[in-house]
Structure 1
């Protein structure tokens, strides 16, 4: 693969890592997609081993995020429909108030739903904090998996 191609793959991986943190782009998909393009264009056993390692890291992170965050939410008794509505509100908020609306609408929707459910502001705020913590857990786990995949790609660059 040419140097320009490798730089473009690196940019795709970087955009994917940013997408994981900002939660606007499908970051893990971009990271793995970039590494897949690199593996196809580079060819050889080493490139495909790197892709396999990256795919395993991303898949493990995707599964782990649901298990760990789900356990956190079940412990706090925050229902999944509340998170789904919060997620939809966050997406709408992103377009109403670019970037910051995502967070504000997500938190606001969860707080309002939990307040309506519990009829208690402090309980609703506790549930909202738990939901935000679970979101941060998913971001952290996804980021760790994608960074591991990215590291495998860097090693692959050096080997090939």
Structure 2
């Protein structure tokens, strides 16, 4: 294993961790790492792996936004609620580093839903939003893991 492959492996691992920790760009980092590897290898196998990885991550990105969005629409949670949650999450990140991101999102979604629906029904909508975010994270994680598997197969093949 060359030093390029070691660096790419570390970048892929950080990218996979980034799917769960929103501060690090997960899929983007995995894709960039495989691009660097394919350029360094400069063989047909490397280019084929790159195409496969980009296809996997592209499909994952589309599904990451499509599936949870449909579930939220079916549950009646508007996009404005998610935007409020995201804005409060950013503020929460600076108030309480890292953990504040999650707490801020929940607080923002809950606050927006209390304003829209009242206290009685707000928690139900909040749980729908949290499940959608969890599904989005799982989809991106799966795509990154499949991309990492394709890269490992490419490393073994070269």
Q: Same fold (TM over 0.5)?
A: yes
Moved over 2 A (4+): none
Which position in structure 1 is the counterpart of 2:137?
Answer: 139
Q: How does 1:1-160 map to 2 (within 5 A)?
A: 3-119=2-118, 121-160=119-158
Unaligned runs of 5+ in 2: none
Q: Deviation digits for residues 27-70 of structure 1, max 9, x if unmatched?
A: 10000000000000111110000000000000001111111101
Q: 1:115-152, CA deviations, whole angstroms, 9 ceiling, x for partnerless residues?
A: 01112x23100011000000000000011111111100
Please state how far the C-alpha of 1:81 moved relative to its aligned partner: 1.3
3-state SS in 2 of match to 1:21: coil
- RMSD (Å) for aligned C-alpha atoms: 1.0
Q: How many residues align?
A: 158
Instruction: Report the alpha carbon displacement of residue 93 of structure 1 after superposing the two structures with TM.
Output: 1.0
Q: Which moved more, 1:79-88 or 1:129-138?
A: 79-88
Q: Give the TM-score taking structure 2 as reference length.
A: 0.97
TM-score normalised by L of structure 1: 0.96
Give structure 1 stretches of 5+ with no counterpart: none
Counterparts of 1:26 and 1:88 in 2: how far apart (Å)? 18
Partner-residue secondary structure (3-state), 1:22: coil
Q: For residues 52 and 127 of structure 2, what CA distance do their matches in structure 1 show?
A: 35
In structure 1, distance between residues paired with 2:2 and 2:43: 17
